[in-house]
Amino acid sequence: MDAAHATMDWAAQQAMQLPAEQRPPKPSGIALIVCILPYPATEIRRAVKHFGDVESGIPTQCIVSAVYIQHGCSS
């Protein structure tokens, strides 16, 4: 595990230990973050999920672009 991942894991653990009232407020008006990612995008997906789950409390949905295009959703 490199330093960036160790820092992210530590930050996630710290944020999850906070009581709900001490966590950052969820931005109003945003119900879902949808990301269309290249393949492979393990690091990007991890960062998006961390932002949604730990930092903002906003649900996220990550879609791999190859799957998106395969199903005819490119237009």
Domain extent listing, the chain: 3-70
Residue 61: per-residue pLDDT: 92
Q: In this predicted model, what pLDDT tens digit does every residue of 25-61 receive, in sequence order?
A: 666 788 898 998 888 888 889 999 988 888 888 889 9
What's the pTM value of the predicted model, to 2 decimals? 0.55
Record the tokens describing residue 37, joined without a space: 């990612």
Omega before 40 cis (within 30°)?
yes
pLDDT at 22 over 50: yes
Q: How far apart are CA 23 and CA 53, in angstroms?
A: 11
pLDDT of residue 34: 92
pLDDT score of 25: 66
Q: Is the pLDDT of residue 8 over 70?
A: no
Do the beta carbons of residue 73 and residue 45 sit within 8 Å? no
